[in-house]
Amino acid sequence: MSTQQPEDVPAISDWSRLLAGKVAVVTGGGDGIGGAISRLFAQHGATVEIAEIDADRAERTLRDIEAAGGRAHAHVVDVREEDDVARLAKAVLARHGGIDVLVNNVGDYRPLAPFLQSTPETWDAMYRINLHHVFLVTHAFLASMIARGGGSIVNLHSVEGMRGYPGEPVYGAMKAAVAHFTTCLAAGHGRQGIRANGIGTDLCQTPQVDYRTGFEASEHLWPSWAPVGRLGWPEEQARVALFLASDLSSYVTGHNIPVDGGTKAGGGWFFSPAAGRFVNRPTGL
């Protein structure tokens, strides 16, 4: 029996430039988790195509990348709009012919409406900001990835798509749909060289989700809020995205990884600093 690594296992020649020569599209790549992904991918040698609704955020990240010696281009687009996505794809494909990595990162938990107060209009808004654009952008680039011999798709969704989310079931359903779309894409296009994986985010400090302001008096409770005992940061999401986008994960596809400080794993149990033990029925922690 041979244990020799066959030629179809991609070789990693430079571990400090895991995306050298690759072209990556990052939606919402101007700030928050998307901004951290754009910067880390550029640091690892990718040319990053930032698809961002906010011109200032796009420009700031572009400047950061260029100042660090990386390569990027910014596109001011609303990925919910078909015409904008068509314009993005036209510009990117004209420049590069195809792409190697697609990160669908845009998403939002707002407008947050408890189900009984929600309406068909809020459901539609949830759909458009969390799911519809994942179809639109993937549809716009997938053929070019296949034509190039393959690539990696990384979809940011939420831990709320991987567990019961009592606060907003429509948001939870949209995120679960992104996770399952990811799994189905992987199953359908693996033989064409496409890998697809998702990230179920939780507890990450970003412009959208500010876990600090207004919670200063409760910082000591992090050990009861997350098994790792602290808040998470965009760079920590970006590192997992780098793993999934690069050949580090060449035999990983169809999976959804919670990047949540352990909240999915520890769901239902809370560490009580006062009691010094785990409780599943907190009475004030």
As a whole number of angstroms, the distance between CA 8 and CA 284 comes to 56
3-state SS assignment for residue 74:
strand
Task: Determine contact, residues 47/69, Cβ cutoff 8 Å.
Answer: no
As a whole number of angstroms, the distance between CA 196 and CA 118 comes to 32
The one among 25, 32, 179, 258 contacting ligand NAD by CB under 6 A: 32
3-state SS assignment for residue 199:
strand
The one among 202, 224, 253, 261 contacting ligand NAD by CB under 6 A: 202
Q: Is 228 in the site for ligand NAD (CB under 6 A)?
A: no
The one among 201, 224, 249, 256 contacting ligand NAD by CB under 6 A: 201
Task: Determine contact, residues 113/168, Cβ cutoff 8 Å.
Answer: yes
Toward ligand NAD, which CB reaches closer, 190 or 267?
Answer: 267
Q: Is 179 in the site for ligand NAD (CB under 6 A)?
A: no
**Residue of 143, 144, 156, 133 lying closest to 209 (CA atoms):** 156
Residues, the chain: 285
The one among 59, 78, 236, 247 contacting ligand NAD by CB under 6 A: 78
Marked catalytic residue, from 165, 171, 211, 251: 171
Q: Is 167 in the site for ligand NAD (CB under 6 A)?
A: no
Tell me the closest approach of the beta carbon of residue 247 to ligand NAD, in angstroms: 24
171 is catalytic: yes
Report which DSSP code applies to 8: T
Q: Which residue has the tokens 């072209």?
A: 23
Beta bridge partners of 26: 50, 103
> x/- binding map, residues 89-118, to ligand NAD, per CB under 6 A?
----------------xxxx----------
Count interface residues toward ligand NAD (CB under 6 A): 30
The one among 30, 70, 172, 198 contacting ligand NAD by CB under 6 A: 30
Q: Copy the structure tokens of residue 120.
A: 């068909």
Task: Determine contact, residues 37/59, Cβ cutoff 8 Å.
Answer: no
The one among 17, 60, 80, 255 contacting ligand NAD by CB under 6 A: 80
Active site members:
171
- Residue ranges that bind ligand NAD, judged by CB under 6 A: 27-28, 30-34, 51-54, 57, 77-80, 105-108, 156, 158, 201-204, 206-209
